[in-house]
Amino acid sequence: MALGGYSFVFDVDDEHGAKVFHDGTRHRGKRVKRLTVAIICIFLTWLMLFLDGTISLSGLWNEVTLRWQLNRLTGSVAQPAATTGSPGHIHDALPVAAFTDRGPHCMPQRPPAYAAMAGEAGHNQYFGHIPTALEWSTLSLKNSCDMLNVLMPDWVVLREGTRKIEIDIEDTSVRGTVEDYMARAVQHPQLLPTITLEFASAPESFVQQILHSDQSGDLSQNLSAISTGLEASGLCLDFRQLDAQALKQLTPFLNRFSAKFRADDLRSCLVLSVDQKIWSDRALMASFNHVILKAFREPWAGSTPAPLADPAWLEAVTRDALASIDPDRLTIALGNFAVEWQLRDPLPTLLPYGEAVSRIAEAGGQLRFSAETGNSFSSFRDDQNRSHKLWLMDAVSVHNQLQTLKGLGVRNIGIWSLGKEDPGLWNVLAEQYQDPASLMAQLSPMSLPNYISYEGKGAFLEVTSEAEPGLRFVSFDTQTGFVRDVEYQKLPKPYRLKRYGQPAAHKLVLTFDDGPHADYTRAILDTLKETQTPAAFFVVGARVLEEPDLLKRMIEEGHEVGSHTFSHPRMDQVSQSRTALEHGMMSKLIAGYSGHETKLYREPFLRAGGPIEASRVRSLMDVQARGGIISGMDIVPKDWEGLTTQEIVDYVVGEVKRGAGNVILLHDGGEDRSASVAAVPLLIATLRTEGYEFTTLADLLGTTHSALMPETGGSWLLFDRLSFEFLSVSWSGLEWVFWAVLIIGVVRMLSILVLAIIRQRTPPLKAGYHPKVTVVIPAHNEENVIVKCVRSVLANDYANFDVLIVDDGSTDGTFDRLFATFCNTPRVRLLAQFNRGKWAALNTAIAAVKSEVIVCIDADTEVRPDAIRHLVQQFNNPRVGAVAGKIAVGNRKGLLTRLQALEYVTSQNFDRRAYDLLNGMLVVPGALGAWRVDAIRKAGLYSRDTMTEDADLTIAVTRAGYRVTYEERAVAYTEAPGSIRQLLTQRLRWSLGMLQCAWKHKGAIKERRVIGLLAIPDLVIFGYLFPLLAPIADIFVVILLYNVLAGVWSGEVGVAVTSMPTHLLWAYLLLPMLDLATTAYALKTDRDESLGMLLLFPFQRFFYRQLLYFSVYRSLLRALTGSLAEWGRMKRFGTNGILVEAT
């Protein structure tokens, strides 16, 4: 029935065939569900059996619950990451960033950075002395809460030479911890390394050698150069062995030193004790930037027990110093250590605070505080009835001393020395930045996180007693602020460890960590077999999975095998469940592949000689509880730092001759270990020539090989071995997937880029072809956008066209608005039909048109005025059956729509440029596409077989022998989904529809057309297989990246990272880098877009793309189950605002 220019179509004939993949019976979906449930059940059963005996599910649940509860109470606190990854070691020093034991309560406030070495009013400036002779001294840096403004490590030594002074500098292994701390500190501290002395002759003779060495300023010049090389602010002279008279003789050198440093814009510093009276020389002191006066008594041989720094003495000394030294130059160094006097021993012993309270606690002595002296003291008798008397300067002492110095106007405070202090000291230093009342609560608990007591000798370790916390109650005088009393309820006790297993001096054991490695371990085993030398291999589980045959060979050839954990983590930084998993998996792995258990264990990143901080002991206790034997090591050449073969040999031989120990550690895994491999035969030959004998760890322990590695059996060994084989194959599969994703992605991107560049140079067609064109607009409930769409079409500059609108059973005001607006517009016709779908609406239009060409656009689209003209020009070529226009997002008002705009430029329009060259275009978009009517009819019209009828028809037209081209000058603006939910609905339909098209037209592969040979396979591989594999590759890379970053977080990067993961990470970066380059080129060659859109690239890569992947997974699931989505509708808001509505 017709009404004016409008017709109502009552034909309800429809195709009733099912869509591709549709399963009306739903039987396929039920089968898929049952299969999925069965796979999950099988997997969970296997997992429970495989993890049986390694981890407690109830314990894991309790751990997770406890962590969640703690986070609720205290907020989520970021923890240092556990170092996991390719093994390596730092055996002689522990990085600052690794310390995890509970330290002081660090306040958010902090004194201003130490600028220009001048104290700022109201804030103390803290100098921290770091004695490198104490290997645990740097552990105090983390506890310092960034309170230290100046670090003074003992790095430079003036050593007595044959004629002139020799200068020694600590190597990077010693300096590295302090340098790392400085680099990571929130407020960068200044560096003033100390210069100490080492001589054997009389002091007078040594002084003369210094003066002789500096006659022409050479020594001062060399020291200035050293300061610059260390990137220090200057150097501190600490001539503690010289008395006042000797120092006075050094005045010429001291003047030249300070003058040279002043000329070189460096800081000069002089450290003096109270007895070195040279500090009363006003002129000399004025030549130095800093004079550090150690304001505590230093007991001498024959001295009697006495307080180390009582208030009256401190005040008198400070006043005298201020009379000679400018307050800005003067730093008062406060002691924080203990001195022990023992009966019949004339030489008092200076003890770290931790050792002092440990001795008192073990002897059952009492520690008391003397309010008069401000020091604590104790006396006790040992088991031989010898009297011991101790005086201590602790955190309480420092508090009172700070109060005294504050009254005297002293703001530069030295801490002498780190590693010897009461851990509560740092709470005291932060006192001025917190409520003083809280200090009492913070000082009450006592612990020794950076002190461990050792006894015995040997490479094996046993924890003999656990650490115990202490408790003290501190009372303050509210008027003066001084501590008036301290009651020690209980003294803290440190962990006690026993070293054992020291053999006769001529016996040595070769041990290897971090393997097995396919090349290095095999070569070492060959050498050991040829030389008949036993050895011990501490293997990493992840490496055993790669080379299980080498594990078997080790045992078959009589070598000892120990556990080095499964994944090489920092064991003190992992949870209890992870700890249990690491040990349990290693037990199963070694037993499964070798038929032997092992009791030997060596902890990753274990320091030579054993741990020096309490937090590292708990993990050793877990091993002991499991019956393990902890094997340390004595001689550790740093083969992970790139030493040459000869350097390794020289170091080991030298240490052996020096009597450093009996257990030698080399590495057969990790990075390049070729130097270590080459050193093995040289070491064996050299040391045997020197009379040394290579033996086993069992020999050192006085036991047998079978006792350390007993045979085991049982039916579960096969199950465990097969399970590990499955894990190994899975990991190898991950790596294969990684490379597949990388190669697929790179090859496709390069191909698209090259094709797009070639196509860009193709000359445009000549104008002059003007066939009759009908613009077809299917519409269903589009009342908000339809009028703007039609007006944009009518505004086109092409003369020979009309408009046909098919209202597909709209239930809103679409028809009424069209009728009211265009009833008097001759060019516009309107057809109305019952709702049958977009495909049917388009076929209705095709049946009604008499034009040679139709241009189909969606109702939410607005076209540019020249769009039809540019599209039609392509049909001058009779081979062209369809032309795709360029689609751009018109409603760019949020992140999501802008990301879609970027996608349209790159993944859609740019791809069309490439496939236009090959005639392999898969989609002429419904938003703007032109069709030759004869081609449509020859291809069989629009089909209801798929949800993307545009793509279906595009492929059919191409298969019918026509060419499908792309015209980027014909531009249309569409309204993109504005919410994630709408986007996912739209992309589910698109993704499922394209999959239907690929399946429907799979026969095209046999037709030798690009559409079948290249385009459809590309759709399947890159559109569906790639999204399936990409997250797996991402997981693989995340694991590798975690291995790298965990090493960075723990301070052990460089030894914890192998070259292989690094290369894989760089390879993985190739894909996003190439993607970025392609995106940049696409934007640059698109005259309508700006390169500023590149700022959206990270969001597209790490947010938007994952949404598209999710849509792909949904579509695959729908296809698999046969449960298809209907033609989802997005509510249109008319926000497509690129073109101005015609009036």
779: CATH: 3.90.550.10
Residue 1046 binned pLDDT confidence (cut-offs 50, 70, 90): low
Q: In what order do the strands lie in the sheet with 773-779?
A: 2-3, 6-8, 828-833, 801-808, 773-779, 853-856, 929-932, 880-889, 963-974, 862-863
Distance of alpha carbon 367 from alpha carbon 364, whole angstroms: 10
Residue with tokens 């709470």: 427
| Residue 451, domain member (yes or no) | yes
Q: Are residues 472 and 520 in the same domain?
A: no
Q: Which residue has the higher pLDDT, 574 or 973?
A: 973
Is residue 434 predicted with pLDDT exceeding 80?
Answer: no
Q: Which amino acid is at 450?
A: N
Beta bridge partners of 631: 460
3-state helix, strand, coil in the chain (%, to 5): 45, 20, 35
Q: Are residues 467 and 562 in the same domain?
A: no
Beta bridge partners of 562: 538
Give pLDDT, residue 97.
34
Give pLDDT, residue 687.
96
Give pLDDT, residue 621.
94
Reported as a single tens digit per residue, the pLDDT across 669-706 is: 888 899 999 999 999 999 999 999 999 999 999 999 99
Count of domains observed in the chain: 3
Q: Are residues 899 and 984 in the same domain?
A: yes
Give pLDDT, residue 99.
34
**Cβ count within 10 A of residue 938:** 15
Q: Which of 49-63, 767-781, 920-934 has the lowest mean pLDDT?
A: 49-63
CA distances from 750 to 656, 754, 920, 1075 (A): 58, 6, 17, 9
Q: Which amino acid is at 474?
A: V
Q: Given 452, 467, 498, which residue is the final one in a domain?
A: 498
Is residue 86 predicted with pLDDT exceeding 70?
Answer: no
Q: Given 498, 518, 534, which residue is the final one in a domain?
A: 498
Tokens found for residue 950: 């545009």
Q: Are residues 1106 and 1094 in the same domain?
A: yes
CA distances from 156 to 256, 628, 769, 1008, 1114 (A): 18, 42, 89, 78, 67
Distance of alpha carbon 907 from alpha carbon 1086, whole angstroms: 13
Q: Are residues 449 and 544 in the same domain?
A: no
Q: Which of 131-135, 198-202, 877-881, 1062-1066 has the lowest mean pLDDT?
A: 1062-1066
Beta bridge partners of 380: 388
Q: Are residues 451 and 570 in the same domain?
A: no
Tokens found for residue 739: 């490379």
Beta bridge partners of 855: 775, 930
Q: Are residues 472 and 529 in the same domain?
A: no
Residue 461 binned pLDDT confidence (cut-offs 50, 70, 90): very high
Q: Are residues 539 and 405 in the same domain?
A: no
Reported as a single tens digit per residue, the pLDDT across 633-674 is: 999 999 988 899 999 999 999 999 999 999 999 999 888 899
Give pLDDT, residue 1068.
75
Helix residue spans in 849-979 (DSSP H):
867-873, 895-903, 911-918, 933-939, 949-959
User: Where does residue 670 fall: left (phi above 0), alpha (psi -120 to 50 degrees), or beta otherwise?
Assistant: left
Q: Are residues 410 and 505 in the same domain?
A: no
Q: Given 463, 498, 533, which residue is the final one in a domain?
A: 498
Find, among 1109, 1090, 1105, 1020, the residue nearest to 748 by Cα: 1020
| Residue 675, domain member (yes or no) | yes
Sign of CA dihedral 222, 226, 227, 228: positive
| Residue 597, domain member (yes or no) | yes
DSSP class of residue 835 equals -
Q: Is 28 helix (H, G, I), strand (E, B) or coil?
A: helix
Contacts of 75 (CB under 8 A, 6+ apart): none
Give the whole-number percent of the chain exceeding pLDDT 70: 87
Whole-number average pLDDT of the chain: 86
Q: Are residues 993 and 1103 in the same domain?
A: yes
* CATH number of the domain enclosing 410: 3.20.20.80
Can you give the residue range of the structural domain that contains 382?
A: 125-498
Terminal alpha carbon distance of the chain: 31
Residues with a catalytic annotation lie at 513, 667
Distance of alpha carbon 309 from alpha carbon 583, whole angstroms: 51
The pairing of beta strand 963-974 with beta strand 880-889? parallel
| Residue 96, domain member (yes or no) | no
| Residue 50, domain member (yes or no) | no
Reported as a single tens digit per residue, the pLDDT across 135-188 is: 899 999 988 888 899 999 999 999 988 888 999 999 888 898 999 999 888 888
Q: Are residues 473 and 521 in the same domain?
A: no
The 3-state secondary structure of 321-374 reads HHHHCCCCCEEEEEECCEEEEECCEEEEEEECHHHHHHHHHHCCCCCEECCCCC
Tokens found for residue 637: 């050449």
Give pLDDT, residue 102.
46
* CATH number of the domain enclosing 566: 3.20.20.370
Q: Which residue has the higher pLDDT, 956 or 1143?
A: 956
Distance of alpha carbon 324 from alpha carbon 311, whole angstroms: 20
| Residue 702, domain member (yes or no) | yes
Give pLDDT, residue 576.
84
Helix residue spans in 927-1058 (DSSP H):
933-939, 949-959, 980-1000, 1010, 1016-1020, 1026-1050
Q: Are residues 705 and 772 in the same domain?
A: no
Find, among 818, 898, 827, the residue nearest to 859 by Cα: 818
Give pLDDT, residue 98.
35
Average pLDDT over residues 1114-1141: 65
Is residue 386 predicted with pLDDT exceeding 70?
Answer: yes
Tokens found for residue 31: 């089968």
| Residue 1136, domain member (yes or no) | no
Tokens found for residue 1121: 């189950």
Pair 370, 376: CB distance under 8 Å: yes
| Residue 92, domain member (yes or no) | no
